[in-house]
Amino acid sequence: MSSSSSSSSSSTKALVVIPSSINIDETFAVRSIVRPGETISSTGLTSRPGGKGANVSAALALAGCDAWFVGNVGKDADWPLEELRKRGVKTDLAGVLDGTPTGRAFIQIAEDGENSIVLLKGANYPPAPSSPSSTFSSLPRPATHLVLQNEIPLSTTAAYLSHGHSQGLSTIWNPSPLPTAEELQSWRWDQTDVLIVNQGEGLDLIAALTGRNVNEGEKAEDTLAALAGLKQLKTLAWVVMTRGAHGVLASVLLEESAEGESRTTVALSASKPRQVLDTTGAGDTFAGYLVSALAELHEEKSKAGAGAGAASGGARRRPSSEEEVRGCLHRAGVAAAMAVEVRGAMESIPKREDVQRRLEE
């Protein structure tokens, strides 16, 4: 490859930054959930890497993206970072903290399927949060996409949002666990490009931003329409609402035409898994593969000569047709369906080539 073609490829390749959480999921198999004052024996213990940020980062990398995870573990257990590297995630900007333990989820799973979870925030809430400007200046080239959740301090997430928006990045927010009503009301929605929520979160978000009770029995299409119609969310390019086994709905602003802006609503049925072993991590797999599809749209349009680079706002380009929207959502849905066929969260995320083979079947 010539130096000029190499430079062109580098300038159009998307780079995704994920400042978020990484945990160790300690899962105990028990006969029944322990009661107050009771001591019981576990019949098994499994330690796996977890955390929404880590899972989404793994999904992005396995989907073929240049994914950079920004987060922290403790010196007590830094092996989850190695699990990310095995999957192709860049961890150069991750920290290993002394005196602060790696975040953990202590999970009990009983024989009847009941579970209980105790969370330790640990290194996900570091004494000195990372600086967005320092993070982005340390990257090998300008970032194009920024993926945010809500398992680190919201103030840190908001700082990354503002910085990323100012640099022309496409900003994606998957606010899980959902912030408080007050936090949602003060969120910079005008700096957010893509929102990904499940249906329950969508209902809670409507209630938080309108102050009115929401009927949980209303049609999913009505919930999506109410979401996309909120004055705070009207400028969002993508409002995506996942529905598990019932599929996904999205309200998307297409590229401007001679007639002006056009918002389209797309409904897709869920892709059918061959078997259902574990739904853990399916949502993170969907989010990662959806962002990877958006990143590829950016790369394709940049290579076509539309102008590349985050500074020009190129990563914020909208899809040009409903067909493009369906393609992005379908790919993410197939990946999520494949994830539930395997036990575990990060371990269940499929590779790009395996998803492609399933798409071609």
For the stretch 22-60, pLDDT in tens is: 999 998 999 999 999 999 999 999 999 999 999 999 999
Question: Does 338 fall in a domain?
Answer: yes
For residue 19, give the H/E element and its range. Answer: strand 15-19
Question: Does 106 fall in a domain?
Answer: no
Q: pTM for the complete prediction?
A: 0.91
For 63, phi and psi rounded to 5 degrees? -80, -5
Question: Does 45 fall in a domain?
Answer: no
For the stretch 343-354, pLDDT in tens is: 888 999 999 999
Question: Is 244 among the annotated ligand-binding positions?
Answer: yes
Report the pLDDT value the prediction gives residue 24, as an integer from 0 to 100.
Answer: 95
Report the pLDDT value the prediction gives residue 313, as an integer from 0 to 100.
Answer: 53
Question: Is 165 among the annotated ligand-binding positions?
Answer: no
Q: How confident is the model at residue 93 (pLDDT cuts 50, 70, 90)?
A: very high
The count of structural domains within the chain is 1
Residue 175, number of CB atoms within 10 A of its CB:
21
Question: Does 107 fall in a domain?
Answer: no
Question: Is 284 among the annotated ligand-binding positions?
Answer: yes
For the stretch 213-269, pLDDT in tens is: 777 667 899 999 999 999 999 889 999 999 989 999 999 999 875 455 678 999 999
Residue 190 annotated in active site? no
- Among residues 75, 77, 74, 71, which one has the least CA distance to residue 56? 71
In the predicted model, what is the mean pLDDT of the chain? 90
Question: Is 217 among the annotated ligand-binding positions?
Answer: no
Question: Does 344 fall in a domain?
Answer: yes
Q: Is the pLDDT of residue 5 over 50?
A: no
Q: Residue 148's beta-bridge partner residues? A: 173
Range of the domain at 142: 3-18+51-98+126-360
Question: Does 282 fall in a domain?
Answer: yes
Question: Does 84 fall in a domain?
Answer: yes
Question: Is 283 among the annotated ligand-binding positions?
Answer: yes
Single out the catalytic residue among 66, 78, 193, 284.
284
Q: What is the token pair recorded at 198?
A: 């499940």
Question: Is 281 among the annotated ligand-binding positions?
Answer: no
Q: Residue 266's beta-bridge partner residues? A: 250
Q: What dihedral do alpha carbons 87, 138, 102, 66 form, nearest 10°?
A: -20
CATH code at 323?
3.40.1190.20
CB 186, CB 160: distance < 8 Å: no
Question: Is 348 among the annotated ligand-binding positions?
Answer: yes
Q: How far is CA 212 from the centre of its chain?
A: 28
Question: Does 25 fall in a domain?
Answer: no
Question: Is 260 among the annotated ligand-binding positions?
Answer: no
